[in-house]
Structure 1
Amino acid sequence: MDVILQPAPALTWRTIGGILDFYVFLGPDPASVIEQYVEVIGYPAMPIYWALGYHLCRWGYHTSNSTWEVVKSLRNYRIPQDVQWNDIDYMDQFLDFTFDSTKFGTLPDLVKDLHAHDQRYVMILDPGISSVQPDGSYWPYDEGLRRDVFIKDAEGKTLIGKVWPGLTAYPDFSDDVTHEWWHENLQRFHEKVPFDGLWIDMNEPSNFLDGSTNGCPSSSLENPPYTPGILGGLLRAKTVCATAQQKQSIHYNMHSLYGLMEAKASASALKRIVAKRPFVISRSTFPSQGMYSGHWLGDNRSQWKDMYTSIAGILTFNLLGIPLVGADICGFSEEPQEELCVRWTQLGAFYPFTRNHNAIDMKPQDPTAFSPLARTAMKQALLLRYSLYPVLYTLFHHAHVHGHTVARPIMFEFPKDVKTYGIDKQFLWGKSLLVTPVLDPGVDYVDGYFPEGLWYDYYTGDSLHSKGEDLRLHAPLDKINLHLREGSITPTQAPNLTLWVSSGQPLHLVSALSDDGSASGDLFWDDGESIDTYENNLYSYIIFNVTQNVMTSQVLHSNVEATYITVETAAFYGVKQKPSRVLLNSQDAAFTYRANQLTVGELSLLNKGVYHIIKHKYSQCC
């Protein structure tokens, strides 16, 4: 099927088969359309907490010890990192469910060390299973044949293609028997290397051949009367034959579902193995993918244009119900300039899924590979992300329960402002955190659009009243511009080297007051890893509100066993005069005031299902 956007605006559909069921989502606004769409395809899963930390990967670590050295280097510089990954290097001859005992012999020790430091390990896994190992030497293939789990060709024989390990068979994930075989393979490997999550790649499914080692039969399925505009001009180009046979149907009908079904099998297996929320990142996706996995945007380049276009990719997948999405920070192929990598790390700190990944034979591009100035700037960006973890986690809760977007186009919040419709260089986290990254080399400023209203600099609390206009912002190399929308309350935490440590820190609440002095916000909190905490009432949900100089915190739902959190400090942007007193639950509280910003400290408020009140009182003046 081709779907082509016309300038009219209109869509031209060209399809060569299938049943078309049309769903029309009436909105009335863009956000409502997405909520209605996600209600149909399935709500995205709530991610495990460490999924939202900083991930580091590369193709070309070559050994487990060199992987380990990078982890230690980040620790030495006190740069946050939650997850270390390995690409196909770790495998023995690129065979799934193996590791190279010569070059990666210390991999189990590396994973043990990661776990001892509250960090996690993720490895790549391709669907292609080597078909040429000696009989009895490779359990995944031998057992797969015995259980009949592989896709067959038109004649009913195991279809053989070619991927990294050479000639391979392809598991048929439309069959429940395959899911059980997949789980047992993962379980057996987990006993050797206790990995925490899976990166499923090459699952279009990808093939270095066109169709199979024997080609594909000539038929109307392989050579339809119209071929959509696809790579190679053939349905079988760099994938398996359209006539290949799967349990549920021929591959012609199943092709686009392959990655989705593999993600479903992988998420199900991980739940059984680790008994926690599964973490899966998939290259191939399909509607409802967000229920089982996140996504990365594929092999990009280390160029400024690729950094810029990643924003549209992130926003698009949020519209598609797959909010856990990111691009390879600093670019995958080619070698990035230091300045590009700094700016990309700043932007990447606001991808919902944050991973730095680069290609084999390229220079290292993790933060420790650059100058002290660049390294410090990247570290600051990552610490900023970690401090905003309560915001991000709460946004993912709303995505999981309500179908909201996490990273959000500005036009979603300002649908009546036509100037927002074409903005693809800025975006929002939720309703109120505006991100304005630098996307060009050699500049210390950035131009950003501010919809009509009152906005506050996140770092300083300085306010700006916009009439709906473009404004030039100061943006030295160590800064990404962030602004808070009026009327919002943002919960933050002191950042640390992992989210496990960060998430135990007390809250600092930042209230960005509207002109009338009001603001509101919320927080979803649980243990970060148990399955279905919301569905099983094992969570706390708190709303914050400011009206008429009084701040209240109301616990709408509390589960003390599953959550423990305190509020330590609160800042109020937009307080127009210095108060004479600040009261906390009717008792005087210490505070500081400067330039429209009030800060109240030493609150030590526990989440106990009661109101906590901060009240400002002003001296009567002449």
Structure 2
Amino acid sequence: MRFLFLLCLKILEPEEASLLPPRPSCSITTGLLVTGCLLLVLCGAWLLGTMFWLHGPSNQHLIPEAWRFDCYPERGVVVTKELCEARNCCFIPASSPSSSATRPPGRNGIPWCFYPLDFPSYSLVSIEDTSMGQKAKLVREVKTYYPADIFTLELDIRHETDTRLHVRITDPSNARFEVPISVPTATKKAENPQYTVELSKDPFGVIVKRRSTGAVVLNTTVAPLFYADQFLQFSTSLPSQFIYGLGEHRSTFLHDVHWNTLTMWARDVPPMEKTNLYGVHPFYLAVENEGNAHGFFFLNSNAMDVVLQPAPAVTWRTIGGILDFYVFLGPDPGSVVEQYVDVIGHPAMPIYWALGYHLCRWGYKTSDATWEVVKSMRNYKIPQDVQWNDIDYMSQYMDFTFDSTNFATLPDLVKDLHTHNQRYVMILDPGISSTQPQGSYWPYDEGLKRGVFIKDAEGKTLIGKVWPGLTAYPDFSDNVTHEWWYDNLRRFHEKVPFDGLWIDMNEPSSFVDGSTNGCPSNSIENPPYTPGVLGGLLRGKTVCASAQQKQSLHYNMHSLYGLLEAKASASALKRILAKRPFVISRSTFPSQGMYSGHWLGDNRSQWKDLYTSIAGMLTFNLLGIPLVGADICGFSEDAQEELCVRWTQLGAFYPFTRNHNSIDTKPQDPTAFSPLAQTAMKQALLLRYSLFPVLYTLFHHAHVHGHTVARPLMFEFPKDVKTYGNDKQFLWGKGLLVTPVLEAGVDYVNGYFPEGLWYDYYTGDSVSSKGEELRLGAPLDKINLHLREGTVIPTQTPNLTLWVSSGQPLHLVSALSGDGSATGDLFWDDGETIDTYETNQYAYIIFNKTMTSQVLHNNVEASNITVESATFYGVKEKPSKVLVNSKDAHFTYRANQVLTVDDLELKLSQNFTISWM
């Protein structure tokens, strides 16, 4: 009766969708449900009869297709009625003619085999209150169809903060692998939680509701719970179809919930849809029907599938570890991200030059060729802060070496870069050559001596194959390896004084599956269930799952490899340089932002890749890694001039900005194109450099408060449904709207403007929007920028490096709201000292009202910066006079309501006021 009643609620009250049944039965049409609901209201007798029918022998036809939870998720299997019923599940071929019982890897559809209402699950048999919440005992009486069921579980519910709930389900009899990242330990139960928690006893389930609205943000009663040794699964309803995050996948920013399976297992593969990529981030942000938002983080590093279905609902299916998850109550999207990074760790404050323009390619071939590009950039007066080298610089592609023939002048190049206030970054792959004559290659010899390499199942050094040939892999889960890594970097830095590291191939990647000796045939290599990983094998293009690491089997540690290498690299750079470390990593995991940034991998020089880079950038900002960008102009294939211009314009607004392309492709640095294209690219980069104070301040807020840098419109306008799927525009912070051109052969772009007043950044012309799409002119040399009303941003005169630019006087741009007010801020320090905020070595100034500065914190660095001028957009009438600190000042006023005040020479370290009458 409860089941049918709640189904009626779903139809008559759509907002109650998430109150759906503990585990619905098997299939019924909407029309029949509507009829049932009407009869429910009119006739109680009919309801009693229906209840008898529901629990009778014919209950195989009661679940709507959208609410079918897959009972046979194995790939490549033709699901027959016999196979399905052997698992005591319902078998009904889907009504869609395009559906198939065979689901190749990376695809899914309406399940033909799904759980019935009475499929056995766990029962809650005892419960007790604790100082943090509740603990309970869960028991399963009936074995499942996967081996090694764990029949008794312990549930631990912790009310950690008013907006954070922590739930752990563990095996009380045996310790199981847990992800080795630091998370906060709450010691006091939340006093005024924004959530309520209900527990269903039989079958067991957790229901979490938002206290203020009653919205159900978690309901695990919708499908049975599995907890076997190598198969853990639970499902929950979703309050709406608006779900984001779940990296790393190439997709739209807003995920499709129509039978969409997202597999997580770090993998070296060029970005493509429906494929597990370089990083693993089991976190989603969901928007509720009321416009509130919440988040969900599943702290698990094993291979997993995350299945989205149109109910809407999500199923988490992993093959190891424990069930350890957090629910974050927001209530706005930005707050959800803040609460998430409070758990995984706040991103590091980048060194200032990390935010400049970076140039790289695989295929410079010599250090002199690299140097010529640097000189050409200087000659054309195009900004560049950092020059990189790919694996070309190495001797035989071996780490911690450089080719003494083709790259003999590399140390001189690096010295020259430093002389011009530029920096040098080199690539490192984790694979260490294992075939050099004994005594000739210190990294391998010393690594063997210290025992730093991953071992195979027999305890011998596991050998794979990467660029230098046969290789061993450092085990970064061992602190001994961190010290060995530091020693190698220190020794190489004495020869080539590099400034930052690019760590690649760190999924880890191998050109052979598992090892040169293969892998054992056991349940670790071939688990009872294998998620939809590319190729169908956990060892595909990586090391054996059964390989041994210090902390656990590679089966558990695989997707953590890039994180642990980044942690070792950042630590080493701090020791070597005594400055903020700069590390860019391909493979990532939650908490990576504390140690590195990320680039979006081996993309192509295609317009589609230009467009999808925005979703990737926005997603990684959600995931606590704001220092992110894609290879500008594309990595593989030859970049066409128009595409490269448009990509440079967009890339100027990536938080991390690097142009990088592959070997045997045409050069694509700005100097390689026509004068028209060079000018357009130069203008875009100078624009970025002029906005450095804005970007640097945004990274400060990311570091201290957990804010996003590149921000989806939905974050600032969570009540505007039209922003929910927008991944063709984005914001820097709360107020700078970027509308790039993403198509070939056009001189305009359509952009959505949420309700409010917006100003053209370049001219100050205003647009008053009711929440509408507008057509904007976009000639080849322009990227459209708009300032949101109520915003103040500080800018500087740009130069060829950020070292020079960041010393220039400030110009303030104020976009007034209807009542004439605006606010903004500026964070400033020396740009490279570690922990300046934590040690109070910084300045922080806010700008508010018409224009009043307030120095909230000051140090010596800020006292050297002056404010030279200020421009105000939206001054409705020409002033008769302008006062600066109560003294008359020279000003100009344009007909489009733009007021400019020049020759201010105001010290940033002192409060000031600009007003007019």
- Structure 2-normalised TM-score? 0.67
Structure 2, gaps ≥5 residues long: 1-303
Q: Which amino acid aligns with 2:729?
A: Q
2:902 corresponds to 1:601: yes
Question: For residue 407 of structure 1, what is the amino acid of its counterpart?
Answer: A
- Give the distance between the partners of 1:601 and 1:88, measured in 2 at CA: 50
Q: 1:563 deviation in Å?
A: 5.8
Give per-residue Cα distances to partners, 1:391-432, cap 9 Å, x unaligned. 000000000000000000000000000010010100000000
Change (3 A) 1:183 1:218: same
Letter in 2 for 1:393: Y
Are the equivalent residues in 1 in contact too, given 2:367–2:409 (CA < 8 A)? yes
Q: Which amino acid aligns with 1:273?
A: I
Q: 1:220: how far off?
A: 0.5
Contact 2:362 2:662 in 1 (8 A): yes
Give runs of aligned pairs for residues 534-573 of structure 1, distance below 5 A: 534-547=837-850, 551-561=851-861, 564-573=864-873
Give the deviation of 1:7 after TM superposition. 2.4
Please give the secondary structure, in 2, of the residue aligned with 1:519. coil
> Residue by residue, what CA displacement relative to the aligned partner does 1:45-74 show, whole Å, maximum 9, x if unpaired?
000000000000000000000000000000
Match of 2:877 among 577, 585, 588: 577
Look up the equivalent residue of 1:220 and give its one-letter code.
Answer: S
Equivalent in the alignment of 1:523: 826
SS in 2 for 1:239: coil
User: Contact conserved, 1:494 with 1:505, CA < 8 A, in 2?
Assistant: yes
Q: How many angstroms apart in 2 are the aligned matches of 1:126 and 1:513?
A: 50
Deviations 1:162-192 (A, max 9, x none): 0000000000001111000000000000000
- Partners of 1:103 and 1:307 lie apart in 2 by 34
Task: Supply the distance in 1 between the matched residues of 2:554 and 2:755 (Cα, whole angstroms).
Answer: 51
1:302 aligns with 2:605: yes
Q: Which amino acid aligns with 2:676?
A: L
Question: Please, which of 369, 373, 386 is the counterpart of residue 672 of structure 2?
Answer: 369
Paired position in structure 1 for 2:531? 228
State whether structure 2 residue 458 is matched by structure 1 residue 155. yes
Counterpart AA for 1:320: L
Asked if the contact 2:809–2:865 (Cα under 8 Å) also holds between the matched residues in 1, the reply is yes
Counterpart contact for 1:526–1:563, Cα < 8 Å: no
Counterpart-to-counterpart distance in 2, 1:10 and 1:433: 35
Distance 1:343 1:560 in 2: 40
Q: 1:587 aligns with which of 860, 872, 887?
A: 887
The one-letter amino acid paired with 2:908 is N
Cα distance between partner residues in 2 of 1:8 and 1:427:
29
* 1:496-538 residue CA offsets vs partner (Å, 9 max, x unmatched): 0000000000100000000110000000000000000000000
- Give the Cα–Cα distance (whole angstroms) in 2 for the partners of residues 606 and 18 of structure 1: 57
Q: Find the counterpart in structure 1 of residue 754 from structure 2.
A: 451
Contact 1:81–1:498 (CA under 8 A) maintained in structure 2: yes
Q: Distance in 2 between matches of 1:10 and 1:379?
A: 47
Q: How does 1:481-520 map to 2 (within 5 A)?
A: 481-520=784-823
Q: Deviations over 1:6-58 (max 9, x none)?
A: 22322122222220111000011111111000000000000000000000000
Could you tell me how far apart the structure 2 residues matched to 1:394 and 1:242 are? 43
Matches within 5 A, 1:55-454: 55-454=358-757
Tell me the CA shift for residue 564 of structure 1.
2.8
CA distance in 2, matches of 1:545, 1:560: 23
Distance 1:173 1:225 in 2: 28
Q: Secondary structure at the match of 1:411?
A: helix
- Classify the secondary structure of the residue corresponding to 2:375: helix
Q: For the Cα contact (< 8 Å) 1:454–1:466, is it kept in 2? A: yes
**Per-residue deviation, 1:558:** 0.4
Distance (Å, rounded) in 2 between the aligned partners of 1:15 and 1:147: 34
Structure 2 residue 49 is matched with structure 1 residue 49: no
The count of corresponding residues between Structure 1 and Structure 2 is 613
Contact 2:759 2:766 in 1 (8 A): yes
Counterpart Cα distance in 1 of 2:482 and 2:539? 25
Instruction: Name which structure has the greater RCO, CA cutoff 8 Å, separation 6+.
Output: 1
CA contact (8 A) 2:863 2:907 kept: no
Query: Which stretches of structure 1, 4 residues or more, deviate above 3 A after TM superposition?
Result: none
| Aligned equivalents of 2:385, 2:773: Cα separation in 1 | 37
SS at the partner of 2:860? Answer: coil
Which whole-Å CA distance do the structure 1 matches of 2:605 and 2:481 have between them? Answer: 38
Partner Cα separation in structure 2 for residue 169 and residue 80 of structure 1 = 40
Hey, what's the Cα distance between the residues in 1 that align with 2:816 and 2:911? 20
State whether residues 829 and 861 of structure 2, in contact with CA within 8 Å, keep that contact through their aligned partners in structure 1: no
SS of the aligned residue for 1:47 comes to coil
d(CA) in 2 for partners of 1:560 and 1:277? Answer: 20
TM-score scaled by length of structure 1: 0.98
Is the Cα–Cα contact under 8 Å of residues 493 and 506 in structure 1 kept in the other structure? yes
| Mapped contact 2:759–2:873 kept (Cα < 8 A) | yes
Shift of 1:562: 6.7
Q: Aligned partners of 2:333, 2:881: CA distance in 1, in Å?
A: 44
Compute the displacement of 1:615 (Å).
1.4
Helix, strand or coil at the partner of 1:612: coil
| CA distance, structure 2, for counterparts of residue 13 and residue 140 of structure 1 | 41
Distance 1:185 1:205, change over 3 A: same
Q: Distance in 2 between matches of 1:298 and 1:310?
A: 10
Q: Which residue number corresponds to residue 268 of structure 2?
A: none
Q: Which amino acid aligns with 1:110?
A: L
Equivalent in the alignment of 1:620 = none
CA contact (8 A) 1:130 1:165 kept: yes
**Alpha-carbon offset, residue 472 of structure 1:** 0.1
Q: Distance in 1 between matches of 2:912 and 2:333?
A: 36
Distance 2:911 2:477 in 1: 52
Q: CA deviation at 1:561?
A: 4.8
CA distance in 1, matches of 2:709, 2:892: 33
- Tell me the amino acid that sits aligned with residue 655 of structure 2: P
Q: What is the CA–CA distance in structure 2 between the aligned matches of 1:185 and 1:108, rounded to whole Å? A: 17
Match of 2:915 in 1: 615
How far has the Cα of 1:231 moved from its partner?
1.6
Q: Which residue identity is paired with 1:438?
A: V
Distance 1:585 1:515 in 2: 24
